[in-house]
Amino acid sequence: MVVFDSSILIDALRKKKDALELIEYYSEKERIAITVISKYEVLRGVKENNISLATGLIARFIVYDLEDSSVTEAVRIYRKVRAKGKSVSELDVLIAGIAATKDETLITRDKDFLNFESEKIEVV
């Protein structure tokens, strides 16, 4: 299974062909997931007239919750990135922590995830 970051979902809602094709490609091969953090990011930013479109898209995914083990992993990731002098988004760290705890590959368009230096993060 793969976990999609908010950036992929936002592009899909904007009807960007490559994001839609990426979701379709993986959904044909395996189950697909997002994190509760990505769900929050998408729903907080969507306009009222697009809420049903966003919730319909989200319904296609398994939604991983933030668990204690994910927080522990997020803290480890945060410290590793900050030790290298790089800035990090709190929400991105939580997303990465959840995906890592589930031992899933995280797929994102957000180049900030390159700072995490993980083989389980694909920036497309």
**In the chain, what are the domain boundaries?**
2-123
What is the total residue count of the chain?
Answer: 124
pLDDT digits (tens, 9 = 90+) for 2-12: 999 999 999 99
The confidence score (pLDDT) of residue 117 equals 84
Q: CB of 85 within 8 A of CB of 105?
A: no
Question: Which residues have a Cβ under 8 Å from the Cβ of 9 and sit 6 or more positions away?
Answer: 19, 34, 38, 42, 57, 58
pLDDT digits (tens, 9 = 90+) for 7-34: 999 999 999 999 999 999 999 999 999 9
For domain 2-123, give its CATH number from 3.40.50.1010, 3.40.50.2300, 3.40.50.720, 3.20.20.105: 3.40.50.1010
pLDDT digits (tens, 9 = 90+) for 66-101: 999 999 999 999 999 999 999 889 999 999 999 999
Q: How confident is the model at residue 122 (pLDDT cuts 50, 70, 90)?
A: very high
